[in-house]
Structure 1
Amino acid sequence: MAKLTLDMLKKYVFPRHGAYTDEVLKGPGIGEDAAVVRITKKLYMITHTDPITAAKKNLGKLAMYVSSNDIAVKGVRPKYALITLLLKKNSTEDEINSITAQLDETAKNLGISIVGGHTEIVENLDMSIAVVTQIGFSSKKPSSISEIKPGDVLIQVNEAAIEGTAVIANDYPELIVQFDEGALELAMSYIDKISIINDALKLNSLGVKVMHDPTEGGIIGGAVEMALASKLKLKVDEEKVLITPLSRSICDHLNLDPLKLLSSGAILATAKPKKAERVLEVLNGKASIIGEFVKGEPSLQIKRANGIEVYREPPQDEIYKLTKKTEPSF
C-alpha cells in the first residue's frame, strides 16, 4: 500500500469532493489539517480523519492523540470522535481489549466523547488499523495555511521525532538493545508527549497566525506542506530545529533522518517576527524560530550540515525503513 504522490492527489482526490456547499469553508488540500464547515454565523465545525497504520503497540493511544492534534492546531478543543477499527486476522480478545481500552482511557483524559464508529476483523490484514474522525467547534472561523505571507517566520514548538522515537522504542526495541534500560524506558515514555492540545490552545491565545501538525515525513514533511499550501518558499535552518539528544542518538544508530521521522508532539506555527519573539519568551525554551517564508517557487529550502536541500513534495517517512511495507495511504 503506497502513499499517493502529490500529483495523484491533485488529480484524483482533492477535486472530487462531492456536492460542495457554501457552508464548506475549507475542504481537502495539501497541508490543511482539518476541514471547516460553517454551521451558523457564529458556529463552525472543524473535523478531520486520521489513520494509524504503522504502529503495533499503543495503537489506540496513538490514534486518539494524532487525530485530536489536527483539530487542536486549528485553535479548537476536540470534543467528539468516531472510530473505525480494522483488526488483523487472528486478533485475540486480549489484543482487542487493549486497543479499545487505550482508546477509551485516552479519550477520557483528553475530554473527548466516542460517539460511534465500526469494528471488524479483516482476514487478509496483517496489522491492525485504527481510523479516527475527530470533531470540534469554534465560535470563529479558524485560520488557513493559505493566509501565510512573505516575512512570516516559522516557529517550532516541542521537539521533532517524538512520535517516531516512541514507536521505535515500543514496537522495535530489538533494534536499540545497545541503549541502556533507562534510555529505552525514556524513549517508550515519549508516547505520552504526543498530545499537543494544551500547547496548541496556548499558542492560539498568544495570537500565532497559523499552526500545522507535522506527522508523516516529520518536520521536513510538515514544512513542505506549509510551503506548498501557502504558495511560498520556506527557508529553514536545521541548526535551529529542536530535537532531544535521545531521539538524535537513536536515529543516528539506525541511520534515520530525525527531521523526516514521525513528529506528532511538535507544532509548526507562523507569526510576524515580533509576535514570534513574544511566543519564545512565554514558552521559555519549548520553542525555536527555525525558518522564514519568502516569495519564490513553493518549496522547502533547508540548510543542513552538508549543504542546501530542496523539497517540492513531502518525503517518505523514515519509520517505513523499519518495516517490510511501504507508506500507508492517507
Structure 2
Amino acid sequence: MSSADDPNPYLDNPASELPLNFPKPSLSRKNPLYEYDPTIHAPEIEPIEHRIRYDFAKAGLTMKMSLLESYSPYNNDSSSEDPWANSGDLNPKPEALKNAEFSIQDRLEYEEHLFENWDDDSVIEKAPGYLAHRFREIRDSDNPEEGVQNERANRTYWYEQMPWSNLYALFTKDSSLGDLYPSSHRQYSDTGKPVDEAHNKHTNYFEGAILVDNNSDPEKVAEDFDVDPDHVYREEEFNYTHKGDALVRPDEYIEAFPAPVVIGHYANDSEYVLLPWTGGLTCQCHYKHEKPFRVMCKHEAMASMLAGEHGSEYLPLTEGIDVPDRVRRLYDPLAIDWTS
C-alpha cells in the first residue's frame, strides 16, 4: 500500500516534487544503498522494534478497559506477577502486548543462533547493527569467549525486561497512553466509534509537512513548492530545550533541508516530528531517547495502533501535504520477518 493508493482529499502537493534529503541509515537494511555505522550514527531501529510496531498495528486500538490504573517500571521486573494476571474479563490484557511478548520470545530464541555462531561473517551480517558491531569488537578482544557470554547475558536481560521496563508502562490510565485517549478525562468512551474518537483534528492526528532550517523563510519555501505555508516549519520549532538533552533535534537525523516529514499532534497537546530512520520512523520525544533500552514511547504506540486500524504500515495523514511513502512508513515490512 502506498500514499498513491490511498488518496486523501485533505492533502495537497504531489510527493514526487518534494526533496528527500535523509542519510543512508534512514533506508531499509535490505536497500543496497543502506549504510549504518553504530559508532557515529544514532541507534538503529532494531528488528524487534519494527516487529513490536507491527504487533501493535495488528492488534489495533486498545480500549480503556484494558489500561492499568497505574504501573511502575521501577518496582516490577520479570520475577513479578503479570499486572493483568487477576484482571479477568473486566480488564483484559491488551492484545498488542500479547503479540509483542510472543515476538520478544521468538526473537530471543532466534538470536541464540547468532550467539552460537557469532564468529561467522555471514552471521554477523544478519545481526542488528549494534550487535554486529559488538561481535566484531569481541572478535578482536583478548578474551572473546568471555565477551560473548557477557554480551549474550546483557542481550537476554534486555529482551526479558522489555515488557516490564517499557511496554507495560505505556498502558496506563494515569499517564502514557491514558494521556492520549480523548474526552475530558483523556479516556475512550466505551460506546461510539473509538477510532474516530482517537484519530481526528481534536485528539491525535498526523500532518504531512516540510521542515526547513532556521535561516529559511517558510513563506518563501511554501511559495517555491506551491503549498500552504501553515505546513512549513522551521527546525527550531521542535527543539524543545525545556525537555532536556534526551530530546532528539530533527537535524540529528536529517542531512539537508528542506525535508518532508510527518508531525504527530497528540491529545495531551504535545507535537513531535517522526523521523525516518533505519527503515522506519522514530519519535523525537525525550522519553524514547533518554534510556537506550526503551523500544517504544506512547506516541509510537498510538501511531502503531492507528496505522493498524487503517491496515497499513504507513501513518494515516489527516492534514498537510502529501509526503513520500518513506516518510510515512512506521515500520519496515522487510525487518519484521527475521527468518528470511
Q: Same fold (TM over 0.5)?
A: no
- TM-score tier by shorter-chain length is under 0.3
Structure showing greater relative contact order (alpha-carbon pairs closer than 8 Å, 6 or more residues apart): 2
Higher strand share: 1
TM, length-normalised to structure 2: 0.23
TM-score by length of 1: 0.24
